[in-house]
């Protein structure tokens, strides 16, 4: 068979492949631009509603929260964000990602307290203690890295509990903080507090970063 008869088909195939690759690149670029545009629209909308958010937040009951086992950011910060979360909650993954963004942008300007909801299973609670051990022995960044890994893989196989970790003391502290939340009728996760005021139901938790940004920029 004459090779020349195949040349047009080969050229057509190459041309089609090039067009396909270019299209995928353009589509990815357009998608990224759309995401950036959506974020800017959301940020501008929230900025316009800053006073509404602060007025609504101030009308919530202010709680005297228990002492946290895990505190990120500036321990002396006047802006205090508290998160009651769970390792077994889909929405908690998103809120913890937002906390990661807040720490990256405003670590020196905010104090973030993290409480984990205690599970009925001893095995499930063991991961809480590993995370606490990581925070105590390796610091904020490694803790956040391990937390993100957990939500993506449902295990902490790359991390081990420190040999000097006081398991019993931490177990008591976890039980005490969970008792406080139960006694105060706070069971749902994630529950978010800003300076002791519970995050208003009228506002989406996915906008938390922009609300914190607004508070910091309007100090």
The predicted model gives 96-108 an average pLDDT of: 94
Q: How far apart are CA 155 and CA 172, in angstroms?
A: 23
Architecture of domain 62-217 in this structure: 3-Layer(aba) Sandwich (3.40)
User: Structure pTM?
Assistant: 0.78
Q: What is the pLDDT of residues 138-179, one digit of tens each?
A: 999 999 999 999 999 988 888 888 888 888 888 898 999 999
The answer to which of 30-34, 70-74, 176-180, 189-193 has the lowest mean pLDDT is 30-34
Q: Where are the domains of the chain?
A: 3-48, 62-217
Helix, strand, coil percent content, the chain, rounded in steps of 5: 60, 10, 30
3-state secondary structure of 32: helix
CB proximity list for 76: less than 8 A, separation 6 or greater = 111
Q: Give me the pLDDT at residue 38, please.
A: 65
DSSP state of 62: B
């Amino acid at each position: 068979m004459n090779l020349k008869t195949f040349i047009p088909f080969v050229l057509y195939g190459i041309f089609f492949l090039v067009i396909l690759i270019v299209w995928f690149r353009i589509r990815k670029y357009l998608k990224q631009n759309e995401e950036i545009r959506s974020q800017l629209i959301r940020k501008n909308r929230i900025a316009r509603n800053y006073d509404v958010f602060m007025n609504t937040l101030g009308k919530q009951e202010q709680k005297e929260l228990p002492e946290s086992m895990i505190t990120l950011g500036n321990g002396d910060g006047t802006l205090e964000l508290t998160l009651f979360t769970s390792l077994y909650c889909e929405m908690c993954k998103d809120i913890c990602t937002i906390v990661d963004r807040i720490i990256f942008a405003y670590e020196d300007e905010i104090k973030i307290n993290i409480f984990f909801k205690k599970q009925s299973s001893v095995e499930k609670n063991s991961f809480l203690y590993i995370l606490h051990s990581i925070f105590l022995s390796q610091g904020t960044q490694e803790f956040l890295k391990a937390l993100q890994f957990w939500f993506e893989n449902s295990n902490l196989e790359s991390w081990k509990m420190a040999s000097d970790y006081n398991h019993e003391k931490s177990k008591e502290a976890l039980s005490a903080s969970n008792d406080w939340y139960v006694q105060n009728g706070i069971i749902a996760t994630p529950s978010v507090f800003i300076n002791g005021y519970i995050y208003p139901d009228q506002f989406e938790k996915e906008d938390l970063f922009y609300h914190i940004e607004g508070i910091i920029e309007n100090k």
